[in-house]
Each structure stands twice: as structure tokens, then as C-alpha cells.
Chain A
């Protein structure tokens, strides 16, 4: 059974997913960051595959992408780094990245490799649902990869239903009209949107992302969903970390507790 499904079977509340950029702050930090995220007590790890043109990301993740690329990270190197990660990490791990590097790697080869190293799911923000259904769904399923779609405050109810129908794993609820890292705090307008989605009784679990940065926003988001995703705020911590492991563990614990 896919680790994502397993996780949500056992835990329906306050699920914490942490996004980080592979190869950041240093090329060989990928594994240490992942181990620290697990040790800190997060439930899901999202490995960001760096891209030169991340159009859904704000300045923090843009910069981490750029630094990682300057460090020399490539998708091939990421897979090399991930070769034996399952010896130490048992929580679900998802790859998040823009389509282009993945297409250049070869989509089937990519899926195969994901399965080989132990990746459980994918979040590809610029893969639209129609294209997914036409070209990718079968392949992802064949290699046991759960696909996650995003929804935003602008997404219509009919479309949310369609996305729910075609999702497998969890739905990524983008908290506002925004790119990553753009806003902090949660407004009453956002809460009414979270409630609207909550009342739809979707079959997939929902994690709220964008603008989640600390214990307060994590708890608030978790009231209206199964948990939340932290990206930019985590990258900022990693960037400033004195001791990578200690600082990551401390930060995640501060969010959870």
C-alpha cells in the first residue's frame, strides 16, 4: 500500500508536510534535510526539483531553486542522492516539480526511477488535469505514484469535484490568490473558503498550503483540513541554519507543538 494512503488511514488531523528544495543550501544536503524533517516529526516530505523558471513560486523558493542549480543539482543527481534513502526514512515522500525537467529526463524513466527509490507521489503544478488524464494518469498508476492537484479560491465547485474524482493521495488547497510565500497569516476571507471546501465532503484528504509558516498558522489551517504544508518559511529557516539538523528539528517541533 502506498505510504500516503497509509498515513491518512492512521492520521486525519494535523498532518504536516514539509517542502524543501533538493540541493539546497548545499548540493549534498538533500538527505540530511530529509532525515531532519522526519526526525522533527513531520508526516510528509516534499522534495522540490529545482527549475530555472518556477512560475508559481515566490522569491524565497525562486532563490532556493537558483542556488540549488548553481550548486549543480540535476534530476539525475537527485535520484543518485535518493538511491538508498528508504533505509533511513519511512514517512511518505513526494516529488514536487515543474514538468520541463521531468520531460527531458523522460517521463516513463522518471516514474520508474521514482518507484525504484521509493517515492510515493507527485505534485506537478504546471501539469493541468486534462493533460494528466490524457497522457500521464496510466503511467503514474502503473508505477504506484499518487498524483496531487492544487485548488485555489478561484476554483469552481464543479472543478473541485472533478479534481477530487481524479486525485489520489491528497488535495493541495492553495490558501489564497497567490504564489508561494507571498502572504502570512490567515484572513476571515480565507477561512470562509476553507470552510466552503471542507463542507464539500471530498473523498481525498486536504492539506492547506501557501502562507503557512508557524504553529499558529499550522493549527489554524488544520482546523479546516487534514493538515498543512510549509514551504517558503521552511526554506528561510534552512537558509539561515547554523546547524542544519538541529535547526530543522527545532523548527518543526515548534510548529507541531
Chain B
């Protein structure tokens, strides 16, 4: 069984390795989130916003030309059509309602590429809540349009200037600021990482993805279960959402595409399961890219959203017990897959998502297999990267 235990562990991974200063915050969340999210009031508000504000359900689209080319029945779960352009908003909607019910007045968040930051700034504007987003100083330079989007939405964007000045440092900074503001502030973590209960909570908010896949596939194919589900994994929130209702259905193969950057052995990648060892980062035990001395290594991926040295503990567990198959997709192959999807189906994907597309070339499957690929985000934010790459 793939499930979280009461201490927040998925097998060997997870837990809440946090400074005592954060203990009351985490306890408050742990003690309340299940009751709140199970309440009818919460569910009604969550579902109504997902429908009318985010635009759910997102389509499950049969990709005919792609299917012809790859010799399988390929469906795309169109999370790229969510408001703000990616699945991230499913989680921020859930967490902002929760924060409100907990009586919190302000929101903090971390962001790498800025997608989660934009999704957070969006729901804060929607709810009239004060919003501060921590972002690596280097990422602020690299992701200018998203920085401006957050500002337009009324959020304050604060550069994280420590360490490598990227996502992991932005996360450190958000945690520090939560320590500094423990009473009135809720921290909206953007992926299935962090101390328990975050990984499970975020996965549950994202699980709407596989919940919809089930009934949509039933309508189209007369069966709830595809043969394969493919998703990209950085921290792993879209993959957790796409896998969630299939964790314990062993006949559905789960494929996770991580970023192999310039190549797994190049020293420039973010292929956490290939290169990582068990360690503790941002409050949970997971697989981690680190030195022999236990210092966290700065990852590399052409897609900022996969550029994280760890992986959600649930994914570390799926890898550990062999429930999911992990493939490492290199920068160049992901870019080509992005162009291929654009040309064959008229969809320019986020570069994160393009990693999941390329995974089709790296795995075995049978003709007529039904394959669902989670199209986690659209490529608007990546135009600069596409242009710089130039090979189209």
C-alpha cells in the first residue's frame, strides 16, 4: 500500500524534521487540515473555485496525431489550460481557503520559475490577503515576466540572496520568515515537499487531476484505468496529483520523468533518483542530491520548475519500492519534445512538461496501450528559453 502514516512517513521517507520554532505552526496545520478539508463548507468552496475560477475539469484530450506516431492511444490531461497556466493553482486554491479558515492574515510562499508564485499571488488577490513571495535573486533575473505578473497581482517579491540564490534558497528563506512570523502567517508550499503534513496535503489538493482522469477515461474508453500515466517530476506535485488515485492500482504503470540536464553523469542535472541518496532537506527525509559530506548540491535543468535537488518523499518511496519507473530526460531531448508537441498537436508545452512527453521515447509499451500524459503547464512562460535554444 502506498499511503502516508500518521507521522508523515511514506515508508522510509517523509516526517517533519523542523526546528522547534516551527513546531506550533506545523502542529496547528496537522491538527486542523484534515477536519477542515473534510468539511462540506470547505469542499463546496474548493470545488466551486476550481470550476469557475480555475476552469476545471480540464479536458482529457485524445491526441490523434501523437497516437499515430507513437503507436499507442495517447491522452493528454490538459492542466496547461488551468487559470495561470499550470496545475499549481489547484494547490494554492486549497491552501488559501485553509489559511482563511485557520484565521491567518498573510501568506508567504517560495517560488523557483515563478509559476507557484504567480498561482499564490493570484489566489491572494482573489481572497484579499497580503502576499509575500520569496524567490532566488538569480531566478528573479531569469524569470522577469513572472516577477512582474506577481507584482501586478499585488504581491511583494523578495529576493533570496543566500546560497545559490535559486529555489532551494527561496524555500529556506520562506521557512525562516515563517519562523519570524509564526502566528498570523500561513506558508503555502508549492510542491509535495516540506515537513509533514505538507507533502500529503499538497498531493490531496492536486489529486483532482487523477480523480478527473478516472471518470473522463471511463467516458472515452469505458475504463477508469489507463495502462500508463506519465508525468514530470521536480518536487513532484503534478506527478503526485496524476498518480494519486492510481498509487494502489498496480496494473497502472506510473512513469516519472526527471530532469537529466546535460546528462546524468555530466554533473549538471537534477536527476534526483538517479544521483540522490537519502537525506534531509526542507523538513523531510527524502532522496537528495548531495556531497559525501551531506551538503546539498545545486542542480541544473533547462526548466526552472524541475531545478530542485530533492524530490517529494512520496516519490522517493515510489522509487524505493519500485512502484514508479523513473527516467532521466536531458535538456536537449525535452526541448525537441516541446517542439514535436507544438507541431503535431498545436500545444506549446512548458519545458517541465516536455520532459514527460519525451519519456515516451525511453520506455517500453505495447501497441494499443492507453497512455495518459499529464500536460502540467503551458509554454508561454518559456518562450525566452525556446527562443534562445532556437532549434525550430
Q: Which residues of A line the B interface, CB within 8 A?
A: 51-59, 62-63, 66, 69, 74-76, 98-105, 125-131, 149-152, 154-156, 159, 163, 174, 177-179, 182
Contact of A179 among B18, B179, B277, B282 (CB under 8 A): B179
Q: How far is the CB of A226 from chain B (nearest CB, A)?
A: 19
Q: Are B24 and A177 in contact (CB under 8 A)?
A: no
Question: Which residues of B lie under 8 Å from residue A150 when comparing CB positions?
Answer: 19-21
**Chain A, residue nearest B17 (CB):** A126
Q: Are B163 and A66 in contact (CB under 8 A)?
A: yes
Question: Which residues of B lie under 8 Å from residue A104 when comparing CB positions?
Answer: 277, 279, 290, 292-294
For this complex, 28 residue pairs linking A to B, each with C-beta atoms less than 8 Å apart, are: A53-B163, A53-B296, A56-B21, A58-B176, A62-B162, A75-B294, A76-B293, A100-B279, A100-B281, A100-B290, A100-B294, A104-B292, A104-B294, A125-B19, A126-B280, A128-B20, A130-B7, A131-B15, A131-B17, A149-B20, A154-B23, A154-B182, A155-B24, A163-B20, A177-B21, A177-B181, A178-B180, A179-B179
How far, in angstroms, from A69 to B281 measured CA to CA in the complex?
A: 17
Q: How far is the CB of A66 from chain B (nearest CB, A)?
A: 7
Q: Are B21 and A174 in contact (CB under 8 A)?
A: yes
Residues 275 to 299 of chain B near chain A (Cβ within 8 Å): 277-283, 288, 290, 292-296
Contact of A52 among B17, B21, B163, B176 (CB under 8 A): B163
**Chain A, residue nearest B7 (CB):** A130
Question: Which residues of B lie under 8 Å from residue A125 when comparing CB positions?
Answer: 19-20
How far, in angstroms, from A76 to B291 measured CA to CA in the complex?
A: 13
A177 with B179, Cβ < 8 A, contacts A100-B281, A128-B16, A152-B20 known: yes
For B4-21 the 0/1 string (1 means CB < 8 A from A) is: 000100000001111111
How far, in angstroms, from A178 to B140 measured CA to CA in the complex?
A: 26
Determine if B271 is an interface residue (Cβ-Cβ < 8 Å). no
How far, in angstroms, from A54 to B111 measured CA to CA in the complex?
A: 18
A51 with B180, Cβ < 8 A, contacts A59-B162, A103-B279, A155-B23 known: no
How far, in angstroms, from A66 to B295 measured CA to CA in the complex?
A: 10
Contact of B20 among A52, A98, A151 (CB under 8 A): A151
Question: Which residues of B lie under 8 Å from residue A159 when comparing CB positions?
Answer: 23
Contact of A53 among B19, B23, B24, B168 (CB under 8 A): B168
How far, in angstroms, from A66 to B162 measured CA to CA in the complex?
A: 9
A152 with B21, Cβ < 8 A, contacts A58-B176, A76-B293, A177-B182 known: yes
Q: How far is the CB of B102 from chain A (nearest CB, A)?
A: 15
Q: Which residues of B line the A interface, CB within 8 A?
A: 7, 15-21, 23-25, 162-163, 168-169, 172, 175-176, 179-183, 277-283, 288, 290, 292-296
Question: Which residues of A lie under 8 Å from residue B279 when comparing CB positions?
Answer: 100, 103-104
How far, in angstroms, from A117 to B175 measured CA to CA in the complex?
A: 34
The 9 closest A-B pairs by CB, nearest first: A104-B294, A101-B294, A74-B293, A150-B20, A154-B24, A56-B19, A52-B295, A152-B21, A100-B294
How far, in angstroms, from A104 to B7 measured CA to CA in the complex?
A: 22
Known pairs A69-B295, A103-B280, A152-B21 / 14 extra A-B pairs, C-beta < 8 Å: A53-B282, A57-B176, A63-B162, A104-B277, A105-B293, A125-B20, A126-B18, A126-B283, A150-B21, A154-B24, A155-B23, A174-B20, A177-B179, A177-B180
Q: How far is the CB of A19 from chain B (nearest CB, A)?
A: 15
Contact of A155 among B15, B20, B278, B294 (CB under 8 A): B20
**Chain B, residue nearest A56 (CB):** B19
Question: Which residues of A lie under 8 Å from residue B19 when comparing CB positions?
Answer: 55-56, 125-126, 150
Question: Which residues of A lie under 8 Å from residue B280 when comparing CB positions?
Answer: 98-100, 103, 126
Question: Which residues of B lie under 8 Å from residue A52 when comparing CB positions?
Answer: 163, 295-296
**Chain B, residue nearest A182 (CB):** B180
How far, in angstroms, from A163 to B24 measured CA to CA in the complex?
A: 14
Most A-side CB within 10 Å, residue of B7, B25, B277, B281: B281
Q: Are B295 and A101 in contact (CB under 8 A)?
A: yes
Q: How far is the CB of B385 from chain A (nearest CB, A)?
A: 27
How far, in angstroms, from A76 to B295 measured CA to CA in the complex?
A: 13
**Chain A, residue nearest B180 (CB):** A178
Q: How far is the CB of B5 from chain A (nearest CB, A)?
A: 13
Q: How far is the CB of A190 from chain B (nearest CB, A)?
A: 14
How far, in angstroms, from A92 to B181 measured CA to CA in the complex?
A: 34
Question: Which residues of B lie under 8 Å from residue A105 when comparing CB positions?
Answer: 293-294
Contact of A156 among B7, B16, B24, B162 (CB under 8 A): B24
Q: Are B293 and A178 in contact (CB under 8 A)?
A: no
How far, in angstroms, from A124 to B234 measured CA to CA in the complex?
A: 28
How far, in angstroms, from A103 to B16 measured CA to CA in the complex?
A: 15
Q: Are B292 and A53 in contact (CB under 8 A)?
A: no
Most A-side CB within 10 Å, residue of B24, B175, B280, B293: B293
How far, in angstroms, from A59 to B159 measured CA to CA in the complex?
A: 13
Q: How far is the CB of A154 from chain B (nearest CB, A)?
A: 4
**Chain A, residue nearest B168 (CB):** A53
How far, in angstroms, from A182 to B7 measured CA to CA in the complex?
A: 32
Question: Which residues of B lie under 8 Å from residue A154 when comparing CB positions?
Answer: 21, 23-25, 182-183
Q: How far is the CB of A249 from chain B (nearest CB, A)?
A: 31
How far, in angstroms, from A101 to B296 measured CA to CA in the complex?
A: 9
How far, in angstroms, from A62 to B25 measured CA to CA in the complex?
A: 23
Question: Which residues of B lie under 8 Å from residue A100 when comparing CB positions?
Answer: 279-281, 288, 290, 294, 296
Question: Which residues of A lie under 8 Å from residue B183 when comparing CB positions?
Answer: 154, 177
Q: How far is the CB of B117 from chain A (nearest CB, A)?
A: 19
How far, in angstroms, from A66 to B161 measured CA to CA in the complex?
A: 12
Question: Which residues of B lie under 8 Å from residue A126 when comparing CB positions?
Answer: 17-19, 280, 283
Q: Are A101 and B293 in contact (CB under 8 A)?
A: yes
**Chain B, residue nearest A55 (CB):** B175
How far, in angstroms, from A222 to B280 measured CA to CA in the complex?
A: 35
